[in-house]
């Protein structure tokens, strides 16, 4: 009886989400996000600009030992798992559907838009949405090697957006993960020539980098655009400059790089979050479009025991410095307010149409389906 009730509940969630996905009208030109990995010999930093229509969001403390089943519409077979690690994630469309984050083992997963993405066709593997794919990696793995190995066991389905991903672990192993023509394409080790990702395929960015390898950089810099491959070129050059000149502390340099890549309002979008993950010290620092003060949190300041409430920080909170003490319980009402608010903004700018309150309730209520296992 209990099992059948849970199955029916998950089916209703899946149908609601599928209806929500059908309502989305993503623009043909995606958000111009940028990401990179910066090494200074002693520390390891991961920088990310998230460019979108709104800076609304939560920084969520996700728990260990939570049983989860991916939110998909039948007849897909959803992935089921139990979270092994806690994590801190940046969420805009609700809890459990992050735009990126870092877990307590120092694994970072971040997304970038990629129009060329074609996810695998349905097969025997269980599946999950592209944003829940991020949470799955953070919940389960501590190394990039594990992330790469699991791609043969799961696949992305019923997606709302075409994405590719940059991942890095605390040991410094990094990879760009793309889904092209239904295949998982990975660049890591020697093939990850520049540890960066923007909004073109990694290979096309490398071709662009090679084309300007012997070009007068100062001349090129004067004409650098916000186009994806030009941003990749700028990141690659700035990473090289840091290694040769060491102009200052790595964290500050990372934020300076993000500022140089930031986009002001273009077709309604701008850089809304600038994030620097410190993988060595397990800390996360960030700025928002409206609040340029750096805010920082550390993994050690949070309890990932599932017996304690899930906490979250409103990214709009007017604060600076260490903000670990400002987190509050991420109740169903808090999550629902975020979902309703962000989808109203999406509707106002034309990203969604004919959205129904019941569809948003399905998405907002999903975290209530999670169960503690201990």
Which three-class secondary structure string do you get for 113-166? Answer: ECCCCCCCCCCCCCEECHHHHHHHHHHHCCCHHHHHHHCCCCEECCCCCCEEEE
pLDDT digits (tens, 9 = 90+) for 62-75: 999 999 999 998 89
Q: Looking at residues 298-325, what average pLDDT do you find?
A: 98
Binned at pLDDT 50, 70 and 90, residue 13 comes out as: low
pLDDT digits (tens, 9 = 90+) for 169-201: 999 999 999 999 999 999 999 999 999 999 999
C-alpha pair distances (Å), 60 with each of 48, 56, 160, 279: 17, 13, 21, 18
Q: Looking at residues 282-287, what average pLDDT do you find?
A: 99
- How far is residue 246's CA from residue 338's CA, in Å, rounded to a whole number? 41
> Is pLDDT at 309 greater than 70 in this prediction?
yes
Tell me what pLDDT residue 350 has.
Answer: 84
> Is pLDDT at 222 greater than 60 in this prediction?
no
Binned at pLDDT 50, 70 and 90, residue 30 comes out as: low
* 87 within 8 A of 138, measured Cβ to Cβ: yes
- 295-298 and 321-322 as β-strands: parallel, antiparallel, unpaired? parallel
Query: Could you give the dihedral angle defined by the CA atoms of residues 103, 263, 172 and 129, in that order, rounded to the nearest 10 degrees?
Result: 50
> Is pLDDT at 23 greater than 80 in this prediction?
no
- How far is residue 174's CA from residue 320's CA, in Å, rounded to a whole number? 30
> Is pLDDT at 206 greater than 90 in this prediction?
yes
Tell me what pLDDT residue 96 has.
Answer: 98
The most distant pair of C-alpha atoms in the chain lies apart, rounded to whole Å, by: 71
With helix as H, strand as E and coil as C, how does the chain read? CHHHHHHHHHHHHHHHHHHHHHHECCCCCCCCCEEEEEECCCCEEEEEEEEECCCCCEEEEECCCEEEECCCCCCCCECEEECCCCEEEEECCCCCCEEEEEECCCCEEEEEECCCCCCCCCCCCCEECHHHHHHHHHHHCCCHHHHHHHCCCCEECCCCCCEEEEEECCCCCEEEEEEECCEEEEEEHHHCCCCEECCCCHHHHHHHHHHCCCCCHHHHHHCCCCCHHHHHHHHHHHHHHHHHHCCCCHHHHHHHHHHHHCCCCECCEEEEEEEEEECCCCEEEEEECCCCCCEEEEHHHCCCCCCCCCEEEECCCCCCEECHHHCEECCHHHHHHHHHHHHHHHHHCCCECCCCHHHHHHHHHHHHHCEECC
Tell me what pLDDT residue 265 has.
Answer: 73
The more confident residue out of 365 and 23 is 365
The more confident residue out of 279 and 15 is 279
Read off the CATH number of the domain in which 256 is found: 3.60.60.10
Q: Looking at residues 245-251, what average pLDDT do you find?
A: 89
Tell me what pLDDT residue 26 has.
Answer: 43
Per cent of the chain over pLDDT 90 is 77
Q: Looking at residues 323-329, what average pLDDT do you find?
A: 98
Q: Looking at residues 9-33, what average pLDDT do you find?
A: 53
Average pLDDT, the chain: 91
Which strands make up the sheet holding 328-329, listed edge to edge? 183-188, 174-180, 163-168, 108-113, 98-103, 87-91, 58-62, 311-314, 328-329
Q: Looking at residues 106-116, what average pLDDT do you find?
A: 98
pLDDT digits (tens, 9 = 90+) for 33-84: 999 999 998 899 999 999 999 999 999 999 999 999 999 988 999 999 999 9
Tell me what pLDDT residue 225 has.
Answer: 76
> Is pLDDT at 1 greater than 90 in this prediction?
no
Which residue range(s) make up the domain with 79? 2-372
- Residue 117: which of 48, 14, 51, 197 has the closest Cα? 197
Q: Looking at 25-29, 108-112, 212-216, 310-314, which range is the least confident one?
A: 25-29
Query: Domain count of the chain?
Result: 1
- How far is residue 93's CA from residue 91's CA, in Å, rounded to a whole number? 6
């Amino acid at each position: 009886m209990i099992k059948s009730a849970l199955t029916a509940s998950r089916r209703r969630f899946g149908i609601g989400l599928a209806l929500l996905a059908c309502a989305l009208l993503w623009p043909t030109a995606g958000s111009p996000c940028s990401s990179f990995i910066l090494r200074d010999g002693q520390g390891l930093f991961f920088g990310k600009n998230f460019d979108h229509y709104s800076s609304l969001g939560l920084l969520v403390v996700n728990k260990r030992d939570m049983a989860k089943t991916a939110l998909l519409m039948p007849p897909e077979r959803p992935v089921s798992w139990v979270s092994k690690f806690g994590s801190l994630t940046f969420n805009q469309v609700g809890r459990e559907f992050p735009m990126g984050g870092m877990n307590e083992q120092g694994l970072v997963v971040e997304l970038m838009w990629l129009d060329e993405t074609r996810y695998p066709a349905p097969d025997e593997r269980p599946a999950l949405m592209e944003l829940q794919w991020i949470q799955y990696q953070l919940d389960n793995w501590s190394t990039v090697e594990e992330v790469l190995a699991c791609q043969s066991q799961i696949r992305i389905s019923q997606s709302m957006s075409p994405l590719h991903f940059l991942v890095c672990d605390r040991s410094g192993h990094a990879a760009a993960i793309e889904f092209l023509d239904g295949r998982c394409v990975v660049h890591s080790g020697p093939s990850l020539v520049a540890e960066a990702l923007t909004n073109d395929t990694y290979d096309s960015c490398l071709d662009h980098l090679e084309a300007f390898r012997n070009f007068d950089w100062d001349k090129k810099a004067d004409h650098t655009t916000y186009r994806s491959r030009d941003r990749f070129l700028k990141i690659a050059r700035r990473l090289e400059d840091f290694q040769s000149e060491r102009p200052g502390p790595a964290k500050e340099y990372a934020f300076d790089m993000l500022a140089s890549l930031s986009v002001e309002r273009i077709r309604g979008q701008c850089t809304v979050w600038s994030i620097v993950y410190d993988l060595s010290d397990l800390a996360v620092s960030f700025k928002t479009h409206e609040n340029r003060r750096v805010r920082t949190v550390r993994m050690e300041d949070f309890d990932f025991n599932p017996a304690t409430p899930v906490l979250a920080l409103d990214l709009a909170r007017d604060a600076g410095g260490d903000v670990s003490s400002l987190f509050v319980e991420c109740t169903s009402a808090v999550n629902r307010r975020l979902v309703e608010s962000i989808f109203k903004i999406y509707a106002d700018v034309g990203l969604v149409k004919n959205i129904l309150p019941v569809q948003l309730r399905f998405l907002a209520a999903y975290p209530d389906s999670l169960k503690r296992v201990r």
